C-alpha cells in the first residue's frame, strides 16, 4: 500500500482541550495507530532540562530532537530506557515544550519522525499542526477546543488525580500564555485551518466527543 493511501485523522487544538484522550479512544475504536506529537516536544524539553541545555539555543535543541532515543510502547513512553510517561506531563516540562516548539529547526528535526507513525491500517494524530503541516492530506481534520476555564479545570483535575499539587488560577494563566505563544508563533501556528471541522468540547464529555469524530469519519 502506498503510504499516502493510509488514512489519517488529524486532531489539533490548544493545550488541555482533551484532544489526547479523545484521539487515543478514536484510534482504539478504529484499530488505528496513535501519535501524540506533543510528547515528542515534551521529550526534547525533558532531555534538554536534564542536560542543563540552554532552552534558548535552537541549534542545541534541534540536535537533541534529532538524537532522541525514544520508544513508544502502548500507553508508556521510554527515553533512553527510562519510563518517562509521567515525567513529561509535569507543568515545567509542558511550558518548556511550548517554548521549544516555536523553533523551526526543532520542528524540522521532528517532522519525519512524526510522519513515520503513518502505518497501516491508519493513524490518529493529535497536536498543534497535524492537519496543516505534518499530514496535510489527512482524511479528516478536526480542531478540538474548549474554553480556557474548562481546560484549566480539566488540567487541575488531571494533576490532582496524579497527586500533583496545582493552583487553578496559575493553570489558567499558564494556559492563556501558552495559547498566545502557540497561536502567535511564526512557524506552524495553532489555528483552525481550511477544511478543518471545529469541535468545541466545553459542554461535551469524552465519549460524546469521540462519537462525534467517529460519525464524521464514517461520512467521508
pLDDT digits (tens, 9 = 90+) for 64-102: 999 998 888 877 899 999 999 999 988 889 889 988 988
SS3 34: strand
145 is in an annotated binding site: no
Band (pLDDT 50/70/90 cuts) for residue 207 is very high
Which CATH number is 176's domain given? 3.40.50.300
Average pLDDT over residues 144-155: 94
Question: Given the C-alpha cell 487544538, which residue does it identify?
Answer: 13
Q: At what angle do helices 148-161 and 168-184 cross, to 10 degrees?
A: 120
pLDDT at site 4 = 76
Is 1 a member of any domain?
Answer: no
Confirm or deny that 17 is annotated as ligand binding: yes
Output the CA angle 210-212-218, nearest 5 degrees.
100
How many helices and strands in the chain, by DSSP H and E? 8, 8
Residue 100 is predicted with a pLDDT of 93
- Is residue 20 part of an annotated ligand binding site? yes
Q: Which residues pair with 89 in a beta bridge?
A: none
In this structure, is residue 2 part of a structural domain?
A: no
- The reported pLDDT for the residue numbered 7 is 97
Contacts (Cβ under 8 Å, ≥6 apart) of 13: 19, 126, 128, 142, 143, 144, 145, 190
Residue 28 in marked binding region = no
31 in a known ligand binding site: no
Does the annotation list 170 as a binding residue?
no
15 labeled binding residue: yes
Q: Is residue 62 part of a domain?
A: yes
The gap between the terminal CA atoms of the chain, to the nearest Å, is: 20
Q: How confident is the model at residue 16 (pLDDT cuts 50, 70, 90)?
A: confident
Dihedral pair phi/psi, residue 172, rounded to 5°: -65, -45
Within a domain: 179:
yes
Highest mean pLDDT out of 96-100, 116-120, 214-218: 214-218
Tens digits of residue pLDDT in 39-53:
999 999 999 999 999
Residues 6+ apart with CB under 8 A from 216: 140, 142, 197
Whether the Cβ atoms of residue 95 and residue 16 lie closer than 8 Å to each other:
no
pTM for this predicted structure: 0.86
What residue numbers bound the domain in which 207 lies? 7-218
**At 1, is the pLDDT very low, low, confident or very high (cuts 50, 70, 90)?**
low
With cell 489527512, the residue in question is 138
* Of 33, 112, 127, the residue nearest 65 (C-alpha): 112
pLDDT level of residue 150 (50, 70, 90 thresholds): very high
Q: What is the CA radius of gyration of the chain?
A: 17
19 is in an annotated binding site: yes
Q: How many domains does the chain have?
A: 1
Amino acid at each position: 500500500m502506498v503510504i499516502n493511501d493510509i488514512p489519517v485523522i488529524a486532531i489539533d487544538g490548544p493545550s488541555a482541550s482533551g484532544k489526547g484522550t479523545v484521539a487515543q479512544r478514536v484510534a482504539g475504536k478504529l484499530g488505528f495507530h496513535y501519535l501524540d506529537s506533543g510528547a515528542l516536544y515534551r521529550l526534547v524539553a525533558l532531555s534538554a532540562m536534564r542536560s542543563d541545555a540552554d532552552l534558548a539555543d535552537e541549534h542545541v535543541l534541534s540536535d537533541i530532537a534529532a538524537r532522541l532515543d525514544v520508544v513508544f510502547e502502548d500507553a508508556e513512553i521510554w527515553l533512553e530506557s527510562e519510563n518517562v510517561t509521567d515525567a513529561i506531563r509535569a507543568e515545567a516540562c509542558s511550558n518548556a515544550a511550548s517554548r521549544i516548539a516555536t523553533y523551526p529547526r526543532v520542528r524540522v528535526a521532528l517532522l519525519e519522525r512524526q510522519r513515520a507513525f503513518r502505518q497501516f491500517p491508519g493513524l490518529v494524530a493529535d497536536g498543534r499542526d497535524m492537519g496543516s503541516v505534518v499530514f496535510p492530506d489527512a482524511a479528516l481534520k478536526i480542531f478540538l477546543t474548549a474554553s480556557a476555564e474548562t481546560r484549566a479545570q480539566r488540567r487541575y483535575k488531571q494533576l490532582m488525580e496524579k497527586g500533583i499539587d496545582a493552583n487553578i488560577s496559575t493553570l489558567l494563566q499558564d494556559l492563556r500564555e501558552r495559547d498566545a505563544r502557540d497561536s502567535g508563533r511564526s512557524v506552524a501556528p495553532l489555528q483552525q485551518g481550511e477544511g478543518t471541522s471545529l469541535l468545541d468540547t466545553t459542554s461535551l464529555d469524552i465519549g460524546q466527543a469521540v462519537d462525534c469524530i467517529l460519525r464524521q469519519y464514517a461520512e467521508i
